[in-house]
Structure 1
Amino acid sequence: MTAPTTPGPAPRSRPHHPRTVGLDLGGRTALVTGAAGGIGRACALRLAAAGAVVRAVDRDAEGLEALAADSPGLAGAVEPQVLDLTDLDAAEAAAAGADILVNNAGLQLVRPIEEFPPDVFHTVLTVMLEAPFRLIRGALPHMYAQEWGRIVNISSVHGLRASAFKSAYVAAKHGLEGLSKTAALEGAPHGVTSVCVNPGYVRTPLVERQIVDQAAAHSVAEERVLADVLLKDSAIKRLVEPEEVAEAVLYLCSPQASFITGTSLAIDGGWTAH
């Protein structure tokens, strides 16, 4: 007779790991400023690929045409809208009905404070701080009514740190950080989040146009600007790609990011680790 066997230990149940949910923005309308190039262009294409209808806003009509030409076949649609953000009333009106707002448009001039043109300082603050305020103001009634909204402000490492010769840009980005946090506190009871994304130097025309001015301001050769000036404080010695920033923006616009608000996401290659 065969001896009875002793039952072994019960098999351990495997922990349940739910599948990652796709970042689907179907049915959402997004507005992206500065959408004709650089980070804005990458964000517009990425949000459209996720299913959002994207109002692509810029004053560069040719750049918007090129963007629209690159968007067929995406899950959502790209709707070009030529707009100069110094027209603040038009900016506020353009944001009405948007579920997602990406404040990206910006400009840069590298000069010492005593040589910085006051009219350019005013324009930088208008486009990069006052226009985001008006865009948020225009978008919030719809977001509050549906109890859902995403505001992503493309700030910069210069929203967290300062650099010489960039008084207007640094002032605007620091102001944007405060505006974003205030919007987060006010929006929280209504299901609206507000976050800053803070990239280091990104491979964009805005950065490329700085090379000559940076060389003059820092008294270095143009070919040394990237290593000796732009990437000097970055642990990772390369430029950020616009698509890398766009991926972060997409996540922050998703339902899965509902608990991320009032903060700043550094994509800076370790710059702010110093």
Structure 2
Amino acid sequence: MFLSGKTALITGSTSGIGLAYAKALAVEGANIVINGFGDPDAIETERKGLEAASGAKATYSGHDLSKPDQIEAMMKEAAEAFGGVDILINNAGVQHVAPVEEFPVEKWDLIIALNLNAAFHTSRLAIPYMKSKNWGRIIQTASAHSLTASPFKSAYVTAKHGLAGLTKTLALELATHGITANCISPGYVWTPLVEKQIPDTMKARNMTKEQVMNDVLLAGQPTKQFVTAEQVAAMALYLCRDEAAQITGANMSIDGGWTAQ
């Protein structure tokens, strides 16, 4: 258990990729802070499962990360419980699909706040503790949309491109402090976030569900397969290892060849 004694905070981790991250890190002995929304009983079941897997402690934070004051409260609670955060994985995200001229302003603001601004706030609050330990890992779930664009996703593409830029800056600033900062950029992973955007895409493109899945979601992935959450989590786990200490400022594509085209 190479992460024994370390604490990992994963945003947006009550389901999907975030929960896969939490499970992978727990198996290696890390204390875990999960965050997100969902059914309280289901979340408590997952929390208990993480503790059973790690032999360490797992806590749940239900704070709304679109609000900076609630991010500060979450990070303060993690510091009080564990001293600080050694591994920060910014995974919380939301999506909306619409043409630019019809894109609701409130949706734009929410997507930028949750997908980009939250990563800035969690990072700035986690870094002092990481510096004091001369060790830390900051990992962003960026998406293939940090490297390329798709129509009708202006806010999401903007946020993910910004996240990649933030990560590079963090990597340079923290390079002599034993702290790495990297992006993981999955292609389409079958998660609740992907499933929820299908109706909007059907409407925007006038397609059936099957057409959206085959001709939109998987059209750009040469493997014609969805990425799994476990594959993404395995990359994050590797980035936490000492063997990955010289990987920083990188954007790791796990996209079935999408961005190779």
TM score, norm. by length of structure 2: 0.93
Alpha-carbon deviation of 1:81?
A: 1.4
Q: Which amino acid aligns with 2:224?
A: K
Does the 8 Å CA contact 2:48/2:58 hold for their aligned counterparts? Answer: no
Q: How do 1:190-205 residues align onto structure 2 when only pairs under 5 Å count?
A: 190-205=177-192
Instruction: Identify the residue that residue 53 of structure 2 maps to in structure 1.
Output: 74
1:136 aligned to 92, 104, 123, which one? Answer: 123
Mapped pair 1:50 → 2:28: yes
Q: How do 1:111-126 residues align onto structure 2 when only pairs under 5 Å count?
A: 111-126=98-113
Structure of higher CA gyration radius: 1
Alpha-carbon deviation of 1:66?
A: 3.4
Q: Report the Cα distance in structure 2 between the residues aligned to 1:35 and 1:253, rounded to whole angstroms.
A: 18
Alpha-carbon deviation of 1:82?
A: 1.1
Q: How do 1:149-188 residues align onto structure 2 when only pairs under 5 Å count?
A: 149-188=136-175
Instruction: Report the secondary structure of 1:70's partner residue.
Output: helix
Q: How do 1:1-274 residues align onto structure 2 when only pairs under 5 Å count?
A: 24-60=2-38, 62=40, 63-75=42-54, 76-95=56-75, 96=79, 97-274=84-261
CA gap 1:104/1:138 in 2 versus in 1, 3 angstroms: same
Alpha-carbon deviation of 1:93?
A: 4.3
CA gap 1:136/1:61 in 2 versus in 1, 3 angstroms: farther
Does the 8 Å CA contact 1:92/1:137 hold for their aligned counterparts? Answer: no
Q: Tell me how many residue pairs correspond in the alignment.
A: 252
Q: Report the Cα distance in structure 2 between the residues aligned to 1:199 and 1:50, rounded to whole angstroms.
A: 23
Deviations 1:95-118 (A, max 9, x none): 341000000000001100111100
Does the 8 Å CA contact 2:32/2:50 hold for their aligned counterparts? Answer: no
Alpha-carbon deviation of 1:148?
A: 0.5
Q: Among the aligned pairs, what percent are the same residue?
A: 46
Uncovered stretches (5+) of structure 1, i.e. residues with no partner: 1-22
Uncovered stretches (5+) of structure 2, i.e. residues with no partner: none
Instruction: Report the secondary structure of 2:85's partner residue.
Output: coil
Alpha-carbon deviation of 1:70?
A: 3.0
Q: Report the Cα distance in structure 2 between the residues aligned to 1:144 and 1:71, rounded to whole angstroms.
A: 27
Does the 8 Å CA contact 1:157/1:268 hold for their aligned counterparts? Answer: yes
Instruction: Report the secondary structure of 1:190's partner residue.
Output: coil
Deviations 1:129-175 (A, max 9, x none): 11110000000000011110000000000000000000111010001
Does the 8 Å CA contact 2:33/2:59 hold for their aligned counterparts? Answer: yes
TM score, norm. by length of structure 1: 0.89
Q: Which amino acid aligns with 2:59?
A: E
Alpha-carbon deviation of 1:89?
A: 2.4
Alpha-carbon deviation of 1:87?
A: 2.3
Comparing 220-229 with 171-180, which one deviates more in the overlay? 220-229
If each structure's helix is expressed as a fraction of its own residues, which one has the higher value? 2
Q: Report the Cα distance in structure 1 between the residues aligned to 2:22 and 2:150, rounded to whole angstroms.
A: 29
